[in-house]
Amino acid sequence: MSKFANIRDLFAMLKREEKILTDFFEKRKLNGLKYDYVSDVLENQDDRIKYLVDKEVIREHSDTFELDELYISFFEQALDANEEINISYINENIETIKQNINYYVNEKGETKRNEYIRKIKNTLRNIGVITIHNVIDLKRNVENTYKTEANYKNKKLKLQNFDKKSNDINSLILQSEKLIDENESSFFAATLDDELQTIISNLKVSLDKSKHNLIEIKKQIINFLNQIQAQSIFIDKLRKIKYLKDQVTLKSSTDFIEVLKKKNDLVFDTAPQYPLKLSLVALQTDEAVRESILKIAARKKCGIKIQRPIAEIISSELLDTKTEEEIFINHEVIKNAFLASGYSNLLDYMETYKYPKEVNFEDIILIYCQLVSLYETDLVFNGEYQEKNGVNFAIVTHKQ
Amino acid sequence: MIKMPSQTADIFKILSKGLFISSNSSGKATADLFEVIDSEGNFELLRNYFLNIGFVLEKGDQYYYFSRQETKQDLEKKIEKAYKWIDYVDFLKTFDTAFSAGLRFSISDILTKLKIDADLEGKLSAIGKDAKSWEDAVRNIIDDLVKDSFIELCNEISGEYKVLAAFKYIEDLIMTININTEEDAQ
C-alpha cells in the first residue's frame, strides 16, 4: 500500500477515474459496488482497479468495493453534504495555535518565528471558517432529521445527539474566544500587526455569529423534541381510544359521552340548511328576477305538451245524413190566432184550435201556461177561475 | 356604532356551515379571513356580535369555528361522527406518524404505503368495507375530511393535499377524552 508520490499523480488519478469515483460517491450509502460492475465501468482494465486499491482510494470487502473514508469525507464536506459534524478540527486548531505560540516564544530566529506566526494566522482563519461551517451543517442536519427520519426513536435520539453537539461547539467557541482574549494576550500584543488584527477581529465576528446561530439551533431542537414528545403522547392516547372503541367499551370506560354532550360545535350538524324565501319586493321590482321568471315560465310552457288525442275514424254509417222531424208548437201563431178570433177565453179557444200535432190535455196545460207567461202584455187575467177536468184555470182574455 | 370588519358576512357564511377557517389554508381568501378574525380586537368584537344570534365563535390552535349556545344536536349523530374520526385519524397516523397540520401528501403516497404495510391495509379494510378498491376507500376518507374542511386539495394536477390547522380539532377532541383509571372503575 502506498500513497501518491506527488500532487500531480493524485490529480491525474482523480481525472482519469472521475466516472467511477462519482459512482462510488453517489452510491456511498449502499453496500459498496460489486466487482463486476466496477470492472465494467473501468472497461475491464484490471490494473486500474489494482492501482486504486494500492493507493487506498478504494477498499475491498469480499466481492464489493467501497470508496475510502478520506475521499468520502472530502467530497461530502466540499459539497456540503456531510451528515457527520466533526468538531475535532476546531479542537485541534486551538491546540495548534497554543503549540505554535509556544514554539514562537522559544525560537529566536527571525525566519522560523515568521513561519510560526504565519501558521498561527492561518489557523486562526481556519477556526472561524470551520466553526461557521459546523454550525450551518448542524442546522441543516437538525431540520433534515426532523423532517425525514421515519423512525420515531431514532429521530429523538439523533436530535438529542445534535443537542450535545451544539453544546460542544459552544464550549469550543468559548475556548477560542478565551484564547485570543486573555491567556495569550501578551503574545498577541507583542506580535500585533495589521494582518493579525484583521484576522482576530474577523474571527471574533465569526465566533459571535456562530454563538447566536447556536442559540437558535438549540431552540429549534428543543421545539422539535417537544413536538415529538407531544406527538408520541397523542399517538399513545389515540391507540388506547381506538382500542376501546373497537372493544365497544369506549362509552363505558371513558367520559366520551359527557365530552360530546358538552360540545355543541356546528361541525357535528349534518349540513345545516337555511332555506330562505324570495323577497316579494325583489320579485316585483328587480329586472334580473323578472328575466329569471320569464325563463322559467318559457321552460314550463315547453315542458308540458298538451296531447290532442286523435280520434278514431268516423264510421260511414254515422256519416249518412239522417233527418229527424219534429213538429213544434209555434206559440206566436197561436197567440195571433187567438187575438184575431172572436174568443174571449183563451182556454176555450185553445180547445178548438187545430194543433199541428196530437196534443193531450197535459200538453194543452203546458201550452196554456207558456202562452200566458210569454205574452203577458197581450193577455189579461181578471182574477177568476174556471175548472176543467179537475184543474183550476185562471181565466185569461185578450186585452181590449 | 362600532364598525364590524367588512368580511363579517364571509366569515359567517363559512362558519355557519359547520366548517373551519384555518390559518394555513392555501386559498388566499380563507387565509385572509383567518387573519381578520385573528387581528387585534376583532376576535372579541366578532364573538360578541355572533353571540347575539346564538352562535359562539370558538378559537382553536390556528383555526376558528362556531358552536351553538344551546344543545340542539342529536347525540347519536355526534357519536357516529366521532367514531368515524377516530378511525380516520388512527389510519392516517399509521400511514405517517407525523400526519398533522401542515403536512402535504397525495393519495398515491398512501396507496404506495398500503402495499408494504399490512397493518395499514387492515385498518383501511375495516373502514372502507363497501369500497370497490383500495383507491376508492382512501378517496372516500380523504373526500370526507375535505368536505368538513380538515384537509384541502391544493394542487389538482399532482393530486397533492394539505392538512389544515383545523385537523388539530379532532386531535384535541381525542385528547379531551379521559380514560377511567382502575380506581374509578371500582
Q: What is the pLDDT of residues A7-53, one digit of tens each?
A: 998 999 899 889 888 888 888 888 788 888 888 888 888 888 888 88
Rounded to 10 degrees, the C-alpha dihedral A125/A131/A134/A138 comes to -160
* pLDDT tens readout for residues A131-171: 888 898 899 989 888 888 777 788 889 999 999 999 999 98
Angle at A151 between CA B95 and CA A213, to 5 degrees: 115
User: B-chain residues within 8 Å CB-CB of A239?
Assistant: 90
ipTM of the complex: 0.83
Confidence of residue A194 (pLDDT cuts 50, 70, 90): confident
Break chain B into its structural domains and give their ranges: 8-68, 75-176
Q: What does the mean pLDDT of chain A come to?
A: 84
Provide the chain A residues 244-303 that lie in CB contact (below 8 A) with chain B: 244-245, 250-251, 253-257, 259-261, 263-272, 274
pLDDT of A232 over the 90 cut: no
Q: Are A13 and A57 in contact (CB under 8 A)?
A: yes
Q: Which of B73, B91, B164 is best to mutate for the A interface (most A CBs within 10 A)?
A: B73
Task: State the smallest CA–CA distance between residue A61 and chain B in angstroms.
Answer: 32
Query: What pLDDT, on a 0 to 100 scale, did the predictor assign at position A1?
Result: 59
User: B-chain residues within 8 Å CB-CB of A234?
Assistant: 171, 174-175
pLDDT of B183 over the 60 cut: no
Q: Is B175 in contact with A240 (Cβ distance < 8 A)?
A: no
Nearest-CA neighbor of A384 among A374, A373, A397, A371?
A: A397
Distance between CA atoms of residues B186 and B177, nearest Å: 19
Query: What pLDDT, on a 0 to 100 scale, did the predictor assign at position B184?
Result: 46
* pLDDT tens readout for residues A317-328: 777 777 888 888
pLDDT of B156 over the 70 cut: yes
Query: Cell numbers at residue A89, please?
Result: 478540527
> Percent of chain A at pLDDT above 90?
12
Break chain A into its structural domains and give their ranges: 1-82, 86-244, 331-398
pLDDT of B185 over the 70 cut: no
pLDDT of A91 over the 60 cut: yes
Of A152, A241, A264, the CB nearest to B177: A241
Identify the CATH class of A1-82: mainly alpha
Q: Is B72 in contact with A259 (Cβ distance < 8 A)?
A: no
Beta strands in A47-182 (DSSP E): 58-61, 64-67
Distance between CA atoms of residues B5 and B37, nearest Å: 9
Place of cell 325583489: A282
Fold designation for B75-176: Arc Repressor Mutant, subunit A (1.10.10)
Of A250, A256, A269, the CB nearest to B18: A269
Of B65, B82, B175, the CB nearest to A237: B175
Q: Is B67 in contact with A266 (Cβ distance < 8 A)?
A: yes
Query: What pLDDT, on a 0 to 100 scale, did the predictor assign at position B144?
Result: 92
pLDDT of A228 over the 90 cut: no
* pLDDT tens readout for residues A330-386: 888 888 888 888 777 888 888 888 888 888 888 888 888 888 888 888 888 878 888
